[in-house]
Amino acid sequence: MREEQMVPMIPRQTVNMTDVAQRCGVSIASVSRALRGEPGVSPATRDRIMSAARELAYVVSPEASRLSGGSTGRVGVVVPRIDAWFYATVLAGVAGEFDAVGVDLVLCTLPDSSARHRFFEALPLRRKVDAVIIVSVPLSARERTRLDQLGVPTVQVGGHHPTGGRPWVGIDDELAASQAVGHLLRIGHRDIAMIQAVDQEGTAWAADEARIRGFHDQMTAAGVAEPTVVRVPWGIDGGAHGMETLLSRSRLPSAVFCHSDEIALGALRTLRKAGVAVPQQISVIGVDDHPSAELSELTTVAQPVREQGRLAAVSVLGALQDDGGAMPARTTLPTRLVIRNSTAPPH
Amino acid sequence: MREEQMVPMIPRQTVNMTDVAQRCGVSIASVSRALRGEPGVSPATRDRIMSAARELAYVVSPEASRLSGGSTGRVGVVVPRIDAWFYATVLAGVAGEFDAVGVDLVLCTLPDSSARHRFFEALPLRRKVDAVIIVSVPLSARERTRLDQLGVPTVQVGGHHPTGGRPWVGIDDELAASQAVGHLLRIGHRDIAMIQAVDQEGTAWAADEARIRGFHDQMTAAGVAEPTVVRVPWGIDGGAHGMETLLSRSRLPSAVFCHSDEIALGALRTLRKAGVAVPQQISVIGVDDHPSAELSELTTVAQPVREQGRLAAVSVLGALQDDGGAMPARTTLPTRLVIRNSTAPPH
């Protein structure tokens, strides 16, 4: 992945190719060719250059190598944010694979639509990385084109299925929602509400839309045409608000499907404060299997998160080795119903 | 921080200084000088070079600039792991500041002692970054020396106080423990056990040791010479095991000080499963104010985590602007007791 470094103990690069060229009385181009083992330098000159380089403790750097078309030894990873369990866990999966082979991880966060806009217009990773892993970020047609213009392999984790053969690793979010709602239907619930998490800027996130679709499809199939829906911002507080809204209505549904475990954890907090017994008075189910789900005895649909990051890293590293030849198109990882104590048949 | 890039739409660098030099019939050194605005090139030649560069869509790269002693535009951030709330939140604080000024974040994870050993022996960040932020990682004398040998500004977040004037941002972990134990003592507890989190490889982490010291000092001052102590691995499961150990003994303490909120959350899980009422039969307190602490109504000592990352980034960026001149030595952020429903006077 990276050129050998010749001298291990220089605190910082102070010597450059110009110094080596001056010492030998040759051109910088000759130094460059000699250090990279390219033709066009006589053996005698090459020897002189190599010994001058050693003498001056010149360190062949990844950057120098890269200017001549080599690799940077770096891969960019783009996430909406870091301080959320899902993204941090995907990142940990990526980092584990990169560490094993000595690839550097350049981290980009795109917390809002203006950051995303800046990122895709300026392409700050251009010419700095050998490949890019992009996690969950919603992509417009123009943004996909801009990603392609990076000219390096890119792999998507979650979000929209890519067009044009970009590799993708994720789960089937519609299926995950169906698994959750199917569980509630099977144990006898019909009056099922959904607390939907929506982007406050109005951006359509593929995973959100797929989970909403999965909910409505299941409810329609069960003969419930217009189930109750509450829309809230992402996160625990959003879930808490969503449940407050449901509690403020004349009649409580018998079960609530929450967009994610964080929404469900907030909903449980509101129910506990309001003295509503779970699952006796209301069943609550989420999606994710967040570490706090077990603590709160939350029934959920588990997705393998670290594994998504790991497989994306494996895919990218494979593409770099094979020069882009052999990335699998789509890897859909399985999700799994985990039944705990927050769901029970309606009384 | 970074050279202006001249052309925004080239998918990938295919043109280099050699091409520009050939087009103009000048040396690579002249191209380099002209593009960087250095003296030694006549105005006429400079004009020719600039227009050839534009014609060839040559992009001045940070790497090229750096080989001539410029900066990389990158800062390394070293964390033990990413998929833990504390580290992910510190990282988010760092990333926010870096994004604002366009500095790239190179992320290194050192999950165990062998990874730490490899990191400090090989110094993989050497010559790749302008500065390093190192979060919580325990440092031996040799490792501190190796960090200095990176030859770039370094800032520590948490962990041991640095020697030799390296800037440090963190909390007073001993004080945080005292605030927690002091609360238990004030409301009347004397039979207070501690569930201590220890590194399974036996590494001494400064924050852990400080919290243990804070506990023992408070207990000694309250006249309890040898309080009950249980040692467990970090994390929720560790806390759950720790509480199982306490429950297996003949007599339950009236209160438990947990090394961190994750330990406390595990302890609460065990107590709930065992049907032991909190706080009626036992009080539980943690340290951190983890997002799940509020959900579990856990009394804790809150620390500002994102702010530690943000201040470390500000410190590093200041050092890069001032050429290392003006980093504050130590920034100790305040911690704060947050009383919820997991603590009450002993009955």
The pLDDT-based confidence of A40 (bands split at 50, 70, 90) is: confident
What integer pLDDT is reported at residue A165 of this predicted model? 73
- A292 with B294: Cβ contact below 8 A: no
* Cβ neighbours, 10 Å, residue A206: 18
Considering only A89-103, A252-266, A323-337, which range has the smallest mean pLDDT? A323-337
Judged by phi (left if over 0) then psi (alpha if -120 to 50, else beta), residue A288 lies in left
Considering CB atoms only, which of B5, B64, B106 is closest to A104? B106
d(C-alpha B300, C-alpha B343), whole Å? 9
Give tens-digit pLDDT for B48-86.
Answer: 877 776 555 444 444 444 443 458 999 999 999 999 999
- Check whether A172 has a pLDDT greater than 50: yes
For residue B155, give the nearest of B94, B83, B102, B114 by alpha carbon.
Answer: B94
Instruction: Kindly state whether A28 is in contact with chain B, defined as any CB-CB distance less than 8 angstroms.
Output: yes
Taking contacts as CB-CB distances below 8 angstroms, the residues of chain A near B29 are: 18, 28
Where do we find the tokens 């019939």? B25
pLDDT band at A62 (very low <50, low <70, confident <90, very high): very low
The predicted pLDDT at position B33 comes to 67
A236 to B83: CB separation less than 8 angstroms, yes or no = no
Residues A312-321 have a mean pLDDT of 91
Q: Do A92 and B72 count as a contact with CB atoms less than 8 A apart?
A: no
pLDDT in tens, B288-339: 999 999 989 999 999 999 999 999 999 999 888 865 455 668 899 999 999 9
pLDDT at position A200 is 87
| Contact at CB, B106 and A109, closer than 8 angstroms | no
Model confidence pLDDT, tens digit, residues A217-243? 999 999 998 999 999 999 999 999 999
At the fourth CATH level, the homologous superfamily of domain B173-302 is Response regulator (3.40.50.2300)
Q: In this predicted structure, which of A18-27, A228-237, B168-177, B269-278 has the lowest mean pLDDT? A: A18-27
Best mutation target among A71, A99, A132, A269 (most B Cβ atoms within 10 Å) is A99
Q: What is the model's pTM?
A: 0.78
Q: Is the pLDDT of residue A59 over 70?
A: no
Of residues A47 and A338, the one with the higher pLDDT is A338
For position B202, what pLDDT does the model report? 86
Going by DSSP bridges, is the β-strand pair B104-109/B336-338 parallel, antiparallel, or unpaired? Answer: unpaired
Say what the pLDDT of residue B197 is. 93
Query: How confident is the model over B226-251, as pLDDT tens digits?
Result: 999 999 999 999 999 999 999 999 99
Query: Nearest to residue A129, comparing CAs of B122, B107, B24?
Result: B107
Q: Where is pLDDT greater, at B232 or B10?
A: B232
**Chain B residues inside the 8 Å CB shell of A126:** 5, 12
- Which comes out higher in pLDDT, residue A19 or B275? B275
Q: What pLDDT score was predicted for residue A2?
A: 35
* Per-domain residue ranges of chain B: 17-59, 74-171+305-333, 173-302
Q: What pLDDT does residue B343 have?
A: 98
Which tokens sit at A119?
């990122």
Closest CA to A52 of A19, A4, A88: A19
Q: Rounded to whole angstroms, how far apart are CA atoms B279 and B189?
A: 12
Domain A74-171+305-333, classified CATH 3.50.50.60, yes or no: no
Residues 266-295 of chain B whose Cβ lies under 8 A from any Cβ of chain A: 268-269, 291-292, 294-295
Q: Indicate if B173-302 has the same CATH topology as B74-171+305-333.
A: yes
Percent above pLDDT 70 for chain B: 84
Task: Return the CA Rg of chain A.
Answer: 27
Radius of gyration of chain B (CA): 27
**Cα–Cα separations (whole angstroms), residue A35 to A3, A47, B112:** 11, 10, 36
Nearest to A13 among B88, B106, B127 (CB): B127
Mean of pLDDT over chain A: 86
Whether the predicted pLDDT of A67 surpasses 70: no
Enumerate the residues of chain B whose CB falls inside 8 A of the CB of residue A130.
none
| Count of alpha carbons within 13 angstroms of residue A212, beta-carbon side | 15
Contact, B343 vs B187, CB < 8 A?
A: yes
Residue B225's pLDDT is what? Answer: 87
Q: Smallest CA–CA separation between B174 and chain A, in Å?
A: 26
Q: Which of A55-64, A221-230, B66-75, B151-160 has the highest mean pLDDT?
A: A221-230
Cross-chain Cβ contact B82/A95 below 8 Å? yes
pLDDT band with cut points at 50, 70 and 90 for residue A55: low
Contacts of B68 in chain A (CB under 8 A): 16
Predicted pLDDT of residue A36: 59
* Separation of alpha carbons B221 and B218, rounded Å: 5
Whether the Cβ atoms of residue A304 and residue A260 lie closer than 8 Å to each other: no
User: What kind of fold does domain B17-59 have according to CATH?
Assistant: 434 Repressor (Amino-terminal Domain) (1.10.260)
CA distance A106 to A92: 13
| Rounded CA separation B104/B73 (Å) | 6
Share of chain A above pLDDT 70, in %: 83
Taking CB atoms and an 8 Å cutoff, what residues of chain A touch B111? 96
How many helices, marked H, and strands, marked E, lie in chain B? 13, 12
CB distance B115–A99 less than 8 Å? Answer: yes
Higher pLDDT, A15 or B29: B29
Mean pLDDT for the stretch of residues A299-310: 97
pLDDT tens, position by position, A81-139: 999 999 999 999 999 999 989 999 999 999 888 999 999 988 989 889 999 999 999 88
Query: CB of B208 within 8 A of CB of B196?
Result: yes
Output the 3-class SS for A97-165: HHHHHCCEEEEEECCCHHHHHHHHHHCCCCCCCCEEEEECCCCCHHHHHHHHHCCCCEEEECCCCCCCC
Closest CA of chain A from B63, distance in Å:
6
Tell me which of B13, B31, B35, B63 to substitute to probe the interface with A (most A C-beta atoms closer than 10 Å): B63
What is residue B132's predicted lDDT score, i.e. its pLDDT?
A: 96
B104-109 and A104-109 as β-strands: parallel, antiparallel, unpaired?
antiparallel
Mean pLDDT computed over every residue of chain B = 86
